[in-house]
Amino acid sequence: MTGPGQSGGRKAAILTGAGRGIGKGIATTLAERGYDLVITSRTREDLEVTGRLVEQSGGSAAIVVADLKDPDTPSLLLETALERHGRLDGLVNNAAVNVFAPFWTQSESTLDETIATNLTAPYFLCQAAANYWVQNSRGGAIVNISSAEDTIAYPEQVPYACSKGGLLSLTKVLALEWGPLGIRVNAVSPGSVDTEMTPDVYRQEAPKLMPIGRLGRPEDIGACVFFLLSDDAAFVTGTALYADGGYMLQ
């Protein structure tokens, strides 16, 4: 079996939640470092902005406007990667939703939406990518964007924390099952990152608790993702890279 990038040239990856924030930072970082991408979210305007940034960074971006809760989306993204780029080397499950509210006010619909987007969608995207790699005797790499909340507690984010804890468990079990098949599965677990999703109170207070003294940047997460996708991480699987500025040391 061949691993990602062993045949030379540019590699190809699917990236979800690519329209904003961390996803946009991952997209530009991967493009700068040799990846062509299939980028997806529910908003075309956001994806077009990211697509232009990918092209400016030296990559090619196939835009797919899709709802990850649609059961046809995994096959659509895989087919697009093969049609546009002729290969698939990596999958980055980044898309996520979060609602900040006290637990007793969180609705059933919020829980369902959060689990469906943050856990169920990555589950089936991992399955689709792995099926392709196994059927074609190829290796591959998956990076799931989790959160420091897969390990430590923050208030007023119970559905989100549940989904990220599940995503970390998914990462570990798939790594165990798929390691012998040449498929590596890891997670990046960010702390507070300066994006549209970050509440003002986190922007003000989180840096005070970080030894590095600042919020993360989307490009910081992109660099972690690139490492875990790359052959430099060939001996790394089933782990979470905590990109949190040292917050979890407290």
By annotation, the residues acting in catalysis are 160
Q: Quote the CA–CA distance of 44 and 174 in Å, as a whole number.
A: 32
Q: Which residues pair with 16 in a beta bridge?
A: 40
Q: DSSP readout, 20-79?
A: SHHHHHHHHHHHHTTEEEEEEES-HHHHHHHHHHHHHTT--EEEEE--TTSTTHHHHHHH
Tokens representing residue 177 in the block: 């099952």
Tokens representing residue 246 in the block: 């040292």
- DSSP code for 20: S
**CB–CB of 171/187 below 8 Å?**
yes
| Those residues with Cβ within 8 angstroms of residue 32's Cβ, 6 or more apart along the chain or in another chain | 57, 58, 59
